[in-house]
Structure 1
Amino acid sequence: MHPQFARQHHFTDESAVHVDYQVARLWMDLQEILPAVLTPLPEPFSRWVEAGAWSPWIQRVNTWWRSLDVEERRAAPQTADALWMAQRWWNARHLDLGYLLAPPDIRFWRVNDQVTLDWETRGCVIDGVPAWVETAGQ
């Protein structure tokens, strides 16, 4: 915590909440995903993402893939490669906030000259209580 902030708000050493790591980690994670975020989405992905169709589709594909046994997966190496690339492409635009308690799911993408931030907090609970008031937005 910045010393001036601590003094202004009368925090003592015992009561000060230190968030240095979280702020630094957020900055580092934003820098890491920035090149992918600033790269415009190609067609038809931009239409799928903007329409909200991408996330449900990739979830269905992942569920299907996990349902396959080892032999079925080995018999479909091209499918495995394509699925891995799709996940990698999408996850490159995901802000990993795993160091926070009940973190929101935050993704960024660019279509033409507009960058969109999309967040979702459904399922983010602490001791059975929703951690966020709003559940989703852009």
Structure 2
Amino acid sequence: MIRFRFELYPLDEVSSWGGDEPTLHWFGLTEGWYWLEVGGHQLLRRTRLDHPHPYVDYYLARLWEDVNVLTPDVLEPVPADLQLFIASDPAQWACDPLAFVTAGDEDRFGDIDPNVPDHPVVTAANWHGEHYLDLGYLRNAPSLRFWRTVRGDRDGITVDWRHEDNGEIGFTAGQAVRFCVPTAAYLEAVHTLDRGLMTAMLQRVEELERRGGLPGVDLDLAGLRREHEDRGHWLAKNLNRTPKTDWDAVRQGAHRLLGDPHQASAPTA
């Protein structure tokens, strides 16, 4: 079983934005707590936090947006010959992918030229990175990755957690844990998160409309309703996206990053 869990702040406790000119919007109204239940663990549950909700305290919209964007890449099955690479830790790679971003990849203004193909090492590193749930907005953030493996009649999503407790911020899941859940269960968890947040936010929008807004806070109620209705289509739009993975380039780059002795050495800058 896997579930993205959350609880929104009570409406009157939501933090306004804008300092001396308080304002709020759909994103800001999703302030709350969230965590992930999988394999009997609560990922993103904090240690040393004496609070009724000892979880990540941030905006649910951020988690929801990132899960939506991540999921098409997660659902793309990883070929058997890339399983070792997708499960690898970048800290143990044989070379630094940044060493393969050369001056030849930049145009005369110093910007990356999108028409110049990435080096295979960069392509492989980017593909590996596309399986991370972005948690970089957190202090001492954990690493949380997802990838799909299909073998015969077995179709599962690996959930890989890594975190180093710095003595101030820790999580109950510990330093490293890995689970495998059915792909159908992962996809249902994504849909459940979407339905749950859309339902909760519809109730919030309707309550604000009944109240006529919040005292002293600039809030465009008509715009809020339009944005909510638009966001109701975001998951479906993301699930219609098909990754355009260059498997040959990923394989070449993966061999370099894993230190395949048959591959040439890294280029010099």
Q: TM-score, normalized by length of structure 2? A: 0.36
Secondary structure in 1 matching 2:59: helix
Tell me the residue number matched to 2:41: none
Give the C-alpha shift of residue 120 in structure 1.
Answer: 0.3
- The amino acid across from 1:94 in the alignment is Y
- The amino acid across from 2:74 in the alignment is V
Give the C-alpha shift of residue 44 in structure 1.
Answer: 0.8
Tell me the residue number matched to 2:121: 83
1:131 aligns with 2:207: no
Q: Report 1:9-20 matches (<5 A).
A: 13=13, 18-19=31-32
Tell me the residue number matched to 2:217: none
Structure 2, unmatched stretches of 5+, are 1-7, 15-30, 34-57, 105-117, 179-269
Structure 1, unmatched stretches of 5+, are 7-11
Residue of structure 2 aligned with 1:106, choices 144, 158, 166: 144
Contact 1:41 1:109 in 2 (8 A): yes
CA distance in structure 2 between the partners assigned to 1:129 and 1:2 by the alignment: 24
Tell me the residue number matched to 1:55: 89
Secondary structure in 1 matching 2:161: strand
Residue of structure 1 aligned with 2:76, choices 39, 49, 56: 39
Specify whether residues 132 and 108 from structure 1 end up closer, same or farther in structure 2 by C-alpha distance, changes over 3 A only: same
CA distance in structure 2 between the partners assigned to 1:103 and 1:136 by the alignment: 13
Q: Tell which structure's C-alpha radius of gyration is larger.
A: 2
Specify whether residues 57 and 44 from structure 1 end up closer, same or farther in structure 2 by C-alpha distance, changes over 3 A only: farther
Between the two proteins, the alignment pairs up a number of residues equal to 117
Q: Which runs of 4+ in 1 moved over 6 A?
A: none
CA distance in structure 1 between the partners assigned to 2:158 and 2:177 by the alignment: 10
Residue of structure 1 aligned with 2:158, choices 93, 103, 116: 116
Structure with bigger helix share is 1
Q: TM-score, normalized by length of structure 1? A: 0.66
Specify whether residues 131 and 57 from structure 1 end up closer, same or farther in structure 2 by C-alpha distance, changes over 3 A only: closer
1:30 aligns with 2:67: yes
CA distance in structure 1 between the partners assigned to 2:142 and 2:94 by the alignment: 21
Contact 2:74 2:148 in 1 (8 A): yes
- The amino acid across from 2:59 in the alignment is Q
Contact 1:119 1:136 in 2 (8 A): yes
Identity %: 29
Contact 1:22 1:99 in 2 (8 A): no
